Amino acid sequence: MRNIKLVLEYDGTNYNGWQTQPNQPTVQATVEKALSKLTKTPIQIIGAGRTDSGVHAEGQVANFHTTAEMPLVAFQKGLNATLPRDIVVCAATEVSAEFHARFSATSRRYRYTILNREHRSALSRQTSYFYPETIDVDSMNNLCQTLIGKQDFSAFQKAGSDRINPVCEIYEAYWWQNSPYIYFEIEADAFLRGMVRAIVGTVLKCIKCGDAETELRRILDARDRAVAGMSAPAHGLSLIAVKYNASD
């Protein structure tokens, strides 16, 4: 039995998230269908991140087990010939039997994209959040230092999450600008459901307060999603990388 690791890129616009759901188009189900057709056997894949409906990925990782003896390049090229144009296999490698795309991951990295100008875009409407109000990147970066470290992020957890432990460790959280776009990148050992979008919406809310840092700390300490800001739209978010130990 071989264990194959895939790196996937996809536009999540037409999918109801990553995870397979009854009677709904999902990325996982689409890839599984293509793999089963390619190998002529039923295949189930494991994803590193369960991206929500409309969320994209540049570096989603998945793995699956198979007895198929085809070369790795055949998995990549065969899948890309079968998958719809909004899902692409960027790499296929063989890994140890113990490798698990989700549980072997040491961190995940997301990027949120904001179009910050007076008029919306016809071209990036599905990959960026149009936000015409002025954004001070330096102030946003100062505020995000409050998020760094291991703490309870219940205030940013979407209702219905199946994660029991709300404690995560954020390694990096920063904003940067390439006009007219402003980007937010965040890396952590784990993320709660809807956490990144809730953080973006909350930071945009707090920065308008007189004492933004105190307000963000109040929200974190409340550990109540109702106290935080609205979630930023899904289409601005992308899973850009999943990290593993060197042996993986």
CATH of the domain at 29: 3.30.70.580
- Torsion of the alpha carbons at 112, 116, 121 and 126, rounded to the nearest 10: 10
Distances (CA, A) of 15 to 66, 129, 178: 26, 18, 29
The three-state secondary structure class of 30 is: helix
Left if phi > 0, otherwise alpha if psi is -120 to 50, otherwise beta: which for 108? beta
Q: Which pLDDT score is estimated for 193? A: 93
pTM (two decimals)? 0.96
- Cβ neighbours for 167, distance < 8 A, ≥ 6 positions apart: 150, 151, 152, 153
Same domain, yes or no, for 58 and 112?
A: no
> CATH number for the domain including 146?
3.30.70.660
Q: Which pLDDT score is estimated for 8? A: 98
Q: Is residue 120 part of a domain?
A: yes
Same domain, yes or no, for 121 and 238?
A: yes
Does residue 25 have a cis peptide bond before it, meaning omega lies within 30 degrees of 0?
A: no
- Cβ neighbours for 149, distance < 8 A, ≥ 6 positions apart: 169, 170
Same domain, yes or no, for 18 and 115?
A: no
| Residue 82 to residue 97: CA distance in whole angstroms | 26
* R_g of the chain computed on alpha carbons: 19
- Block residue for tokens 């089963």: 36
Residues with a catalytic annotation lie at 52
Helix (H) or strand (E) holding 114: strand 107-115
Angle in degrees, 0-180, between the axes of helices 72-82 and 27-39, rounded to the nearest 10 = 120
Q: Tokens for 185?
A: 């990148």
List the domain range (segments joined by +) for residue 90. Answer: 2-95
Q: Is residue 64 part of a domain?
A: yes
Number of domains in the chain: 2
| Mean pLDDT, the chain, whole residue set | 96
Average pLDDT of the segment spanning 212-222: 96
Same domain, yes or no, for 91 and 128?
A: no
Average pLDDT of the segment spanning 121-144: 96
Same domain, yes or no, for 82 and 116?
A: no
pLDDT over 80 (residue 247): no
Same domain, yes or no, for 64 and 121?
A: no
Q: Which pLDDT score is estimated for 137? A: 96
Same domain, yes or no, for 53 and 86?
A: yes
Beta pairing partners, 109: 187, 241
Buried b / exposed e over 211-228, threshold 16 CB at 10 Å, is: ebeebbeebbeebebeeb
- Identify the domain boundary among 95, 129, 163: 95
- Cβ neighbours for 112, distance < 8 A, ≥ 6 positions apart: 129, 183, 184, 185, 186, 196, 197, 200, 232, 236, 237, 238
Q: Which pLDDT score is estimated for 204? A: 96
Left if phi > 0, otherwise alpha if psi is -120 to 50, otherwise beta: which for 23? left
pLDDT tens per residue, range 151-193: 999 999 988 777 789 999 999 999 999 999 999 999 999 999 9
